[in-house]
Amino acid sequence: MKKTAVRSGRPAGQARQGQARPAQEKAPSPHPAEPSSGLITEDELLLASRNHAMPLEMLRWYATPAGMHYLVIHWDVPAVDPETWSLRLHGAVHRELQLRLGDLRAREARTLDVTMECAGNGRSLLKPRPVSQPWVLGGVSNAVWTGTPLSGLLAEAGLEPGAVELVFTGEDRGFQGGVEQAYARSLPVEVAASDDVLLAYEMNGQPLMPQHGFPLRLLVPGWYGMTSVKWLRSIEAVTTPFEGFQQSVAYRFQQDAEDSGTRVSRIRVRALMVPPGEADFATRRRVLAAGPTVLEGRAWSGHGAVTAVSVGIDGAWFRAHLEPAVDRYAWRRWTFPWVASEGTHELMCRAEDTAGNIQPLEQEWNYQGMGNNAVQRIEVTVRPSLADGTAFP
């Protein structure tokens, strides 16, 4: 389902008349130039403080608890009044639809467990670091989502023969790369019509929280999170491919600023590990007691089922125990018993999927820092067990 990249033809500075452009006065770009140091800028700190990461110990929970699911909020969380809100399905359709939240809740409901990951997860680990939301590794979570299949609405509206994509637009708006915009992304018709694409109004059995898109969001299982448009207000069937900012400028695999690149789509295979032992507050370095322990984590892929997870201990690889899948798009738990010996060790984990993908040991760099799935590396210091044999007094 790979599509040829279409670069937006929008020239630099072509903002709408009368609209200020607070960002840099150069060509639209998803992010400003890279800094030369390994330090983080104050602007990146502002992003990191808004766009919540899931602390990796939360990998212990199958369904990420409310409030710990990772977040990307491009601008501000909009305060949507559900009494006046409605969703419009329009464009190249036979019958335009306008639906209230109650209408959507009255339709066929479907619940899916879905692991969602930000396309930029791991970005801050790249050298040099692309400047944008500076994810370490916490841009991933798993939740139980309930909504109505989009396919039913599409059938009711009836797509015209020339419709090639559906454009999903949210209530959130602001500036990015000098362009004022409402958040909008498109999907090819054949992807949008899959039974697994939901218009979701519940997360973990509760109405969506404001930050997760209340009252309604798109949910596209297996695709990176930018696809699942929040605060959804409009679905438009279009007869030519959508070239909005978030499609043609942001979320692309590019080699440099001039490269038109290719679109980011499905989630690459990945495993992550709960950092074992205890943390240091200021550095997050880990300390573990010598002796038997069980390493654990989760693994997922948007390209098919995870087939294996391996654990690396100081460079030697071992096969982990992979627990059965709970749901098709949900991460799988893995465990690996390890007898930790005194000293410093490097732990890694690495997943493979049915499509034959395996995580790279070193990440291939790209300009926007997208699709990073290099194996996680954790350094742990193993100390002697205490005299009484208690690992953690």
Q: Which of residues 25-44 bind a copy of itself (CB under 8 A)?
A: 31-32, 35, 37-44
Range in contact with a copy of itself (rule: CB under 8 A) among 84-92, 161-169, 284-292, 302-310: 284-292
Q: How far is the CB of 260 from a copy of itself (least distance, A)?
A: 21
Site for a copy of itself in 60-99 (CB under 8 A): 60-61, 65-69, 73-77, 79
Q: Please check whether residue 251 is in contact with residue 243, taking contact to mean a CB–CB distance below 8 angstroms.
A: no
Distance of alpha carbon 68 from alpha carbon 295, whole angstroms: 22
Cis geometry, peptide bond prior to residue 30 (ω within 30 degrees of 0): no
What are 117's two structure tokens? 């990951």
Q: Left, alpha or beta for 158 (phi > 0: left; psi -120 to 50: alpha)?
A: left
Cβ nearer to a copy of itself, comparing 48 with 308 = 48
Q: Closest approach of Cβ 127 to a copy of itself, in Å?
A: 12
CB closer to a copy of itself out of 44 and 353: 44
Here the tokens at position 336 are: 């690996």
CA gap 175, 21 in Å, rounded: 7
Which residue, among 204, 233, 206, has the nearest Cα to 217 in the 3D structure? 233
Tell me whether residue 63 or residue 164 sits nearer to a copy of itself (CB atom).
Answer: 63
Is the CB of 246 or the CB of 310 nearer to a copy of itself?
Answer: 246
Interface stretch with a copy of itself, choices 16-24, 112-120, 220-228, 315-323 (CB under 8 A): 16-24
CB-CB contact of 263 with 3 (8 Å)? yes
- Which residue, chain included where needed, has tokens 């479907």? 110
Is 74 or 233 the residue whose CB approaches a copy of itself more closely? 74
Shortest spacing between CB 157 and a copy of itself, in angstroms? 26
Is 53 one of the binding residues for a copy of itself (CB under 8 A)? yes
Distance of CA 11 to the CA centre of its chain: 29
Instruction: Examine residue 50 and tell whether it contacts a copy of itself (CB under 8 A).
Output: yes
Instruction: Name which of 69 and 350 has its Cβ closer to a copy of itself.
Output: 69
Q: Does 278 bind a copy of itself (CB under 8 A)?
A: yes
DSSP 8-state assignment for residue 216? -
- Give just the sign of the alpha carbon dihedral 171, 9, 190, 353: negative
Q: Which of 89, 93, 101, 131 binds a copy of itself (CB under 8 A)?
A: 131
CB closer to a copy of itself out of 139 and 147 = 139
CB of 278 or CB of 364, closer to a copy of itself: 278
CB of 108 to a copy of itself, least distance (A): 28
52 binds a copy of itself (CB under 8 A): yes
Instruction: Please give the Cα distance from 170 to 73 (Å, whole number).
Output: 11
User: Is residue 377 close enough to count as binding a copy of itself by CB under 8 A?
Assistant: no
Query: Alpha-carbon distance 59 to 288, whole Å?
Result: 18
**Cα separations in angstroms, 332 against 113, 301, 307:** 11, 10, 10
Q: For residue 269, how many C-alpha atoms fall within 13 Å in the half-sphere facing its CB?
A: 21
Binding mask 166-205 for a copy of itself (x = CB under 8 A): -------xxxxx--x-------------------------
